[in-house]
Amino acid sequence: MPVNLKPVDVAVVGLGAAGGVAVLPLVRAGLKVAGIEAGTWMDPHNDFHPDEIHNNRRHGVTTVPKVQREIPTVRANPGEVARQGTASPMMNAIGGTSIHYWAQSWRLKPWDFQARSETLRRYGAGAIPNGSTLEDWPLTYQDLERFYDTIEHEVGVSGKAGNIQGQLDPRGNIFEGPRSREYPMPPLRGSGFTDHMAETARKLGWHPFAPPAAINSQTFQGRSGCVYHGYCSSGGCHVSAKGSTAVTTIPAALKTKHLTIFDNAQVTRIVAGTDGKVTGVLFLRSGREYFQPAKAVLLGSYVFENTRLLLLSKSKAYPKGLANNHGQVGRHFFAHYDSWAGNSMKALFPFDINIWYGLPAQGSCVDDFADDSFNHAGLGFIGGTSMHVYTEVHPISAAESERFGKAPAWGSAWKKYVRENAARVAQCYLQTSTLPYESGYLDLDDQVRDPLGDPVCRVTTGGPKENEVRAGQHAHGKMEQWFREAGAVAVSRGNITVAGVTTHTYGGTRMGDNPETNVTDKWGFSHEAPNLGIVGGSVFGTSGARNPTLTIQALAWRTAEHLVKNWKAII
């Protein structure tokens, strides 16, 4: 029998990028919150080092027990055997993957929320790709603007506005949706190379800008500015300049004394009563089982676990899994066409570009070919790609890097090549907006189980889609033009495909007005279990051409605020 804990108002499952934000508006309203997190606190002094072997080779920051025991299996199509990968890209910790992410903090574009109706309006019904389950989001960019603004100021985002209430500023991104005010901090500085790339983009008639990041460009709320030391990716920040929820919203929530954190605690089931309302969560901690009663539950783990926990939580009211009486849990799954899907390029310059230091969020970005910034007539796809060149290269990866057919992979000839060129290879990050399709979904694996005996999540990607592959190829052409114009003497392209288990996955509990095709309503609450909210990328209906975290956090804040404002009606 589980140990019964003292009831709380809200149980939040997972204190990562999403749950770690959602707790703050709840406790500020005086609600008693239990935050149940599979990982624990990380220590900036003991856990985070400028050490490639520790961070990037042995994954010393990101290798934590729970996610590694339940890595999803992946297959392209039903009928194939789904294979389990060797590592999860996500981590458990207080702060979750926001501990080690790149911290690029984008707003989606107005188009991303209305991609279906905007495509119909501009290009007609024939432009919607076959098999796509694309719907408009149940909210607009304008609806979310206030929450984007809140996160930018609560967490701290560095950037330069390109559109303040319709007033365009070419120092920022002129293709962004209108924002109510400037960022709280100026953008991170550029490096010699990224400044050179920005200048080149301007020569091409494009509109480069320094992308927004939840990384302090100067001291912010008592946390240091970035020191640009070059070990941001897959490493935690030793000066807490990176705005993970572990150093921003979670400590702010703890100050109210209304948040209790259960760390190293694995939620195994969400419990529902016969009336269809959820009553709390079961979790394991140090070998004991606990029941945390709660008047409402916010589910805030990653995309795979959000779906898996719902499907595992069967009850009388929900025989096919919690909130799944319409069979929509796990549907509309998709993953970004970004470097995980081979959508990457490298370039060789005939001079030292010196991008050793810095961080992936330090860069120059071009949005001219993203989303609906350009006319798609005759191109054969909708959506597009944001192009970002950035810094941070570590010595082992530099030595192993692309040789552009100019040298062997070892021996004296390789030594000569790598001596000359290790400081001359540029990288880029291309993110293509991605649509959901009927053929992409998550369910429970019928073979592979975690150590508790529960099936792991199974990803069926549906294979690469023509629309996204064409959009990626279009971006490859533009990116090559950018690199060549900047002086590159060789450019390599990845082979664009589809990815399954990545840090940029979406869907499974899609948000929409229609309960027949969506799991959550426009506030992020289940259409079926009224006191169950779901936060995270699992509610997205389109990806945009951007890193998802800021949108995840804006939505999480909005879902939590909705719960506060409608407390009596929801519980």
List contacts with another protein (CB under 8 A): 49-54, 57-61, 63, 189, 191-193, 196, 227-231, 351-358, 391, 395-396, 398-400, 409-412, 415-416, 418-419, 422-423
- In the complex, what is the shortest distance from the CB of residue 403 to another protein, in angstroms, rounded to a whole number? 13
84/256 with CB nearer another protein = 84
Which is closer to another protein, CB of 418 or CB of 496? 418
From the CB of 425, what's the least distance to another protein, in Å? 11
Q: Count CA atoms within 13 Å of residue 351 on its CB side.
A: 6
- Least separation in angstroms between CB 483 and another protein: 14
Return the ∠ at Cα 555 (arms to 382 and 279), rounded to 5°.
125
Report the SS3 class of residue 215. Answer: strand
Residues 518 and 527: beta-carbon distance below 8 Å = yes
96 versus 358: smaller Cβ distance to another protein: 358
Determine whether 17 is exposed, middle or buried from the number of CB atoms within 10 Å of its CB (0-12, 13-18, 19+). buried
Q: Smallest distance from the beta carbon of 205 to another protein, in angstroms? A: 23
Task: Give all strands of the β-sheet with 455-460 in edge-to-edge order.
Answer: 83-84, 73-75, 455-460, 441-449
Rg (CA), the chain: 23
CB 49, CB 331: distance < 8 Å: no
- Say whether 265 sits in a helix, a strand or coil: strand
| Rounded least distance, CB 53 to another protein, Å | 4
Shorter beta-carbon distance to another protein: residue 196 or 332: 196
Could you count the other beta carbons within 10 Å of the beta carbon of residue 350?
Answer: 11
**30 and 258 in contact (C-beta within 8 Å)?**
yes
Contact 223, 198 (CB under 8 A): no
Q: Based on CB atoms, which residue is closest to another protein, 357 or 567? A: 357
Which string of DSSP letters, residue by residue, matches 118-139? HHHHHH-GGGSPTTB-----SS
Nearer to another protein by Cβ, of 379 and 489: the residue is 489
- Nearer to another protein by Cβ, of 259 and 418: the residue is 418
Report d(CA 216, CA 213) in Å as an integer: 8
How near is the Cβ of 490 to another protein at its closest, in Å? 18
What is d(CA 90, CA 560) in angstroms, rounded to the nearest whole number? Answer: 23
Provide, rounded to whole angstroms, the least separation between the CB of residue 215 and another protein: 14
Shortest CA distance to 159 belongs to which of 18, 363, 354, 374?
A: 363
Whichever of 10 and 355 has its CB closer to another protein, that residue is: 355
The DSSP H or E segment spanning 283 is strand 278-285
Considering beta carbons, is residue 406 or 415 the nearer one to another protein? 415
Query: With respect to another protein, which residue has the nearer C-beta, 397 or 517?
Result: 397
Q: How far is the CB of 231 from another protein (least distance, A)?
A: 8
Measured from the CB atom, the residue of 192 and 273 that comes closer to another protein is: 192
Cβ at position 256, least distance to another protein in Å: 33
Token couple for 533: 């909210």
Distance CA 92, CA 74 (A): 21
Helix axes 549-565, 19-28, angle to 10 degrees: 30
Residue 222 has phi, psi (to 5 degrees) of: 80, -5
Q: How far is the CB of 423 from another protein (least distance, A)?
A: 6
Q: Which is nearer to another protein, 417 or 567 (CB)?
A: 417
Q: How far apart are CA 307 and CA 458, in angstroms?
A: 10
CA distance 526 to 25: 20
Q: Which residues contact 273 (CB under 8 A, 6 or more apart)?
A: 279, 315, 317
Angle at 69 between CA 63 and CA 75, to 5 degrees: 105
| Smallest gap from residue 390 Cβ to another protein (A) | 12
Task: Provide, rounded to whole angstroms, the least separation between the CB of residue 416 and another protein.
Answer: 6
Burial class from Cβ neighbours inside 10 Å (0-12, 13-18, 19+) for residue 489 reads middle
Closest CB 228 distance from another protein, rounded Å: 4
